[in-house]
């Protein structure tokens, strides 16, 4: 059989990206050229190739050494003109309130990236004094502003009396510390971390422009934390990861196979679906972690759709200490290089999860010998919560021809799971 192209599926495609991306596989000794450029093929026939697109119609010829007639792809690239540049508009300071719980307060007026300062509670009162790009600028204190999406808040009438501070206390327990700040109303807060402290700050700009209440909390070595609020009372709880006597005994670990059901995830050069490989690795991982004494919960144990919110909800309901999401990577656009970016990368969002990310990456790249593609940060919904230590493992690249040889290997799921479990163990219990 001559080559089969997995992506793009259609011969006529409209693209808003800079590159067209071809992924497929060739048969034995077949060589593929795309626009007269020879395409690298792995030993199982897998290939991936990108072509830079011009504006308008692009004709791309994919040719096999077995077939005299090339397959022609017409890909139309939309010209991107008049890129919208949002402007900052200064507004007369006015009072607003947050419409629902879990509203991101951001460092920049953008709905992406590592820019969340906290998640505000419904009814939090804010002073808004500017707008940009669909966001309101929130005045927190003299030197600090944040941003909230315009549709997440609504204007409320001016008030005569500013909210008042009532009381503040800290209690320390064996594995946790609880810090309570009480005000007459809900106020904006932020959480920052430096190398040895967590800084929990509540702002009361209606009272004064430098009215900031800060709690400095010494960080345990391994930790997670959580903020709850009712009315104007903020309870900030920092937990040390429970002490474990043997292996992972008693730890609650949540294993999350990415995607599922109609959501296939990435598609490999030979047509493999990411969701299936994620599940195989995750089921092996569950067994291994249970053998090490952990209580393991999973977002799914069969093929099926589970929303991102539900995954987080389940992990919380099960009191998870550690959250591990299993994926395989793909090249979303050509900022990454098809052939250079391969192997394993581990993502985290909050600083409390960096150590685990490093430990798991180290264990996989040495254990199964994948290329080290680095520890990275990314704003993925399942690893944003702070109430567990959370990582997202991209074990290999679905769309990398050489990686496809790895992940199609019979032992890949078990060996990857073993390396992940050892990475978790080294993080939890480094001496054993």
Q: Binding residues for Zn ion, per CB under 5 A?
A: 258, 265, 327
Pick between residue 188 and residue 258 the one whose CB is nearest to Zn ion. Answer: 258
Pick between residue 232 and residue 258 the one whose CB is nearest to Zn ion. Answer: 258
State whether residue 143 is helix, strand or coil: coil
Pick between residue 150 and residue 280 the one whose CB is nearest to Zn ion. Answer: 280
The span from the CA of 201 to the CA of 168, in Å, is 12
Question: Where do we find the tokens 């163990």?
Answer: 425
Min dist. Cβ of residue 398 to Zn ion (A): 8
Residues 311 and 297 sit within 8 Å (Cβ to Cβ): no
Min dist. Cβ of residue 255 to Zn ion (A): 15
User: CB count, 10 Å around CB of 159?
Assistant: 11
Pick between residue 24 and residue 265 the one whose CB is nearest to Zn ion. Answer: 265
Residues 248 and 378 sit within 8 Å (Cβ to Cβ): no
Q: Which residue is nearest to Zn ion (CB)?
A: 327
Min dist. Cβ of residue 391 to Zn ion (A): 14
Question: Residue 33 belongs to what H/E stretch?
Answer: strand 32-34
List the alpha helices (DSSP H) in 153-244: none
Q: Can you give the length of the chain in residues?
A: 432
Min dist. Cβ of residue 361 to Zn ion (A): 17
Pick between residue 131 and residue 256 the one whose CB is nearest to Zn ion. Answer: 256
Pick between residue 137 and residue 327 the one whose CB is nearest to Zn ion. Answer: 327
DSSP-derived letter for residue 70 is P
Pick between residue 265 and residue 423 the one whose CB is nearest to Zn ion. Answer: 265
The span from the CA of 297 to the CA of 300, in Å, is 9
Pick between residue 205 and residue 258 the one whose CB is nearest to Zn ion. Answer: 258
Which pair of tokens denotes residue 182? 């009480």
The span from the CA of 289 to the CA of 250, in Å, is 11
Identify the bridge partners of residue 236 per DSSP, sorted by sequence position.
179, 227
Nearest to 402 by CA among 15, 55, 43: 43
Nearest to 380 by CA among 345, 424, 349, 423: 349
Question: Where do we find the tokens 């960080």?
Answer: 219
Pick between residue 140 and residue 298 the one whose CB is nearest to Zn ion. Answer: 298
Min dist. Cβ of residue 341 to Zn ion (A): 15
Min dist. Cβ of residue 262 to Zn ion (A): 14
* Nearest-10 Cα torsion for 301, 343, 353, 193: -150
Min dist. Cβ of residue 23 to Zn ion (A): 15
In whole angstroms, how far apart are CA 250 and each of 177, 222, 246, 313, 348? Answer: 21, 16, 9, 21, 24
Min dist. Cβ of residue 381 to Zn ion (A): 12
Pairing of strands 71-77, 12-15: parallel
Min dist. Cβ of residue 407 to Zn ion (A): 13
CB neighbour burial string for 188-205, b if at least 16 within 10 angstroms, e if fewer: bbbbeeeeeebebbbbbb
Q: What angle do CA 100, 354, 266 make, to 5 degrees?
A: 75
Pick between residue 258 and residue 423 the one whose CB is nearest to Zn ion. Answer: 258
State whether residue 323 is helix, strand or coil: strand
Min dist. Cβ of residue 380 to Zn ion (A): 9
Min dist. Cβ of residue 39 to Zn ion (A): 25
Pick between residue 308 and residue 405 the one whose CB is nearest to Zn ion. Answer: 308
């Amino acid at each position: 059989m001559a080559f089969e192209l997995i992506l793009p599926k259609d011969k006529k495609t409209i693209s808003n990206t800079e590159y067209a991306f071809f992924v497929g596989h060739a048969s034995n000794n077949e060589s593929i050229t795309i626009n007269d450029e020879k395409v690298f093929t792995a030993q199982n026939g897998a290939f991936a190739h990108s072509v830079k697109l011009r504006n308008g119609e692009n004709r791309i010829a994919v040719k096999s050494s077995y077939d005299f007639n090339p397959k022609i792809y017409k890909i139309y690239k939309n010209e991107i003109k008049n890129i919208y540049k949002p402007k900052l508009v200064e507004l007369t300071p006015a009072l607003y309130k947050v419409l629902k719980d879990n509203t991101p307060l951001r460092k920049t007026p953008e709905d992406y990236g590592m820019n969340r300062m906290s998640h505000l509670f419904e009814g939090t009162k804010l002073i808004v004094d500017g707008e940009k790009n669909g966001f309101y600028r929130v005045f927190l204190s003299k030197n600090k502003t944040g941003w909230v999406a315009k549709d997440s808040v609504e204007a409320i009438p001016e008030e005569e009396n500013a909210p008042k501070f009532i009381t503040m206390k800290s209690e320390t327990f064996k594995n946790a510390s609880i810090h309570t700040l009480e005000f007459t109303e809900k106020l904006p807060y932020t959480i920052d971390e430096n190398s040895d402290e967590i800084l929990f700050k509540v702002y009361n700009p209606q009272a004064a422009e430098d009215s900031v209440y800060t709690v400095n909390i010494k960080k345990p070595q391994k930790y997670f934390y959580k903020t709850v609020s009712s009315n104007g009372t903020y309870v900030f709880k920092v937990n040390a990861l429970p002490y474990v006597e043997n292996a992972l005994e008693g730890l609650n670990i949540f294993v999350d196979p990415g995607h599922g059901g109609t959501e296939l995830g990435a598609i490999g050069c030979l047509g493999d679906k990411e969701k299936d490989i994620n599940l195989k690795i995750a089921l092996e991982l569950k067994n291994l972690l249970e053998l090490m004494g952990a209580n393991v919960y999973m977002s799914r144990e069969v093929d099926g759709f589970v929303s991102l919110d539900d995954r987080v909800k389940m992990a919380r309901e099960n009191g998870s200490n550690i959250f591990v999401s299993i994926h395989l990577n793909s090249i979303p656009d050509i900022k990454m290089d098809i052939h250079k970016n391969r192997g394993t990368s581990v993502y985290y969002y909050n600083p409390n999860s960096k150590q685990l990310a490093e430990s798991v990456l180290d264990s996989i790249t040495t254990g199964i010998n994948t290329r080290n593609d680095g520890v990275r940060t990314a704003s993925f919904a399942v690893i944003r919560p702070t109430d567990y230590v959370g990582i997202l493992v991209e074990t290999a690249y679905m769309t990398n021809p050489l990686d496809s040889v790895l992940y199609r290997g019979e032992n890949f799921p078990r060996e990857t799971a073993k390396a992940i479990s050892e990475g978790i163990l080294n993080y939890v219990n480094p001496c054993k």
